[in-house]
């Protein structure tokens, strides 16, 4: 029942928006491929569940609030692109055919879509260079400042290395930017091409796909479901209800 005597409709309006966003998300087609944005994740078995679009555990789908956070990330990317162009960077987010820059490998079973390519700009940079942006919280922002990208967020570093390799943008360092969602501070870092990291991620994709083709479930990342990666995995119950053997 609605309380018509209160002016605070936060809960009611929020619930309506959450329901609509969750319904919209449920209608999106599944991603039947391994994405470059996830190949740096720790658990190969999780990537198998993702590849097969296995049903997530009850209550493990993204709630509306988290979907709004994702939407914010897309908006922040648009803002950062506009600011870079304002600063004199010739940033392209579409190729000559009007499509997002991306690559397809392994007969379409490995794919990636980059935020953009910068083809010209201030003399203090070399071109063309890959551009990738993230919206992050204050904690992640501080870790980036302290440890830099490769040490603090290896998943992002792997994603960038794959883009540089497959898009032929390995000769010049990539530009990685991050915006702190708390105060809109900007972090920027040059990332020289890490050939070893790109090769490792590519080899890992092949290993995962071969295991999927052979109906072989790869080992879990941990021996206990209380491991941090397992606790936040949307397939935790499904994974830990299976036999210990890696071939199932």
pLDDT value, residue 243: 62
In SS3 terms, the chain reads as CCCCCCCCCHHHHHHHHHHHHHHHHHCCCCCCCEECCCCCCCCHHHHHHHHCCCCCCCCCCCCHHHHHHHHHHHHHHHHHHHHHHHCCCEEECCCCCCCCCEEEEHHHCEEEECCEEEEECCCCCCCCEEEEEEEECHHHHHHHHHHCHHHHCHHHHHHHHHHHHHCCCCCCCEEEEEEECCCCCEEEEEECCCHHHHHHHHHHHHHHHHHHHCCCCCCCCCCCCCCHHHHCCCCHHHHHCCCCCCCC
How much is the pTM? Answer: 0.86
pLDDT tens for the chain, residues 1 to 248: 556 566 777 888 888 988 888 888 777 777 789 999 999 999 999 999 989 988 888 766 777 788 888 788 788 999 999 999 999 999 999 888 888 999 999 999 999 999 999 999 999 999 999 999 999 999 999 999 999 999 999 999 999 999 999 999 999 999 999 999 999 999 999 999 999 999 999 999 999 999 999 999 999 999 888 898 898 898 998 999 876 544 33
Domains and CATH numbers, the chain: 34-42+63-216 (3.90.320.10)
């Amino acid at each position: 029942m609605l309380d018509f005597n209160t002016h605070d409709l936060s809960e009611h309006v929020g619930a309506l928006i959450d329901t609509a966003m969750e319904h919209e998300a449920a209608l999106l087609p599944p991603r039947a491929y391994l994405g470059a944005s996830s190949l740096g994740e720790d658990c190969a078995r999780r990537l198998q569940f993702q590849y097969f679009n296995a049903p997530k555990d009850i209550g493990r789908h993204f709630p509306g609030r988290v979907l709004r956070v994702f939407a914010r990330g897309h908006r922040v990317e648009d803002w950062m692109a506009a600011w870079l162009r304002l600063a004199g960077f010739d940033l392209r987010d579409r190729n000559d055919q009007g499509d997002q820059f991306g690559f397809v490998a392994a007969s379409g079973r490995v794919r990636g879509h980059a935020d953009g390519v910068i083809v010209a700009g201030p003399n203090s940079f070399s071109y063309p260079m890959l551009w990738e942006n993230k919206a992050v919280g204050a904690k992640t922002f501080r870790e980036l400042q302290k440890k830099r990208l490769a040490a603090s967020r290896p998943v992002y570093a792997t994603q960038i290395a794959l883009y540089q390799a497959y898009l032929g943008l390995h000769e010049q360092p990539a530009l990685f930017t991050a915006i702190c969602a708390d105060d809109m501070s900007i972090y920027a870092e040059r990332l020289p091409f890490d050939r070893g990291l790109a090769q490792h991620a590519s080899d890992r994709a092949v290993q995962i796909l071969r295991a999927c083709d052979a109906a072989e479930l790869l080992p879990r990342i941990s021996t206990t479901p209380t491991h941090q990666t397992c606790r936040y995995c949307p397939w935790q119950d499904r994974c830990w209800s299976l036999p210990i053997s890696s071939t199932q």
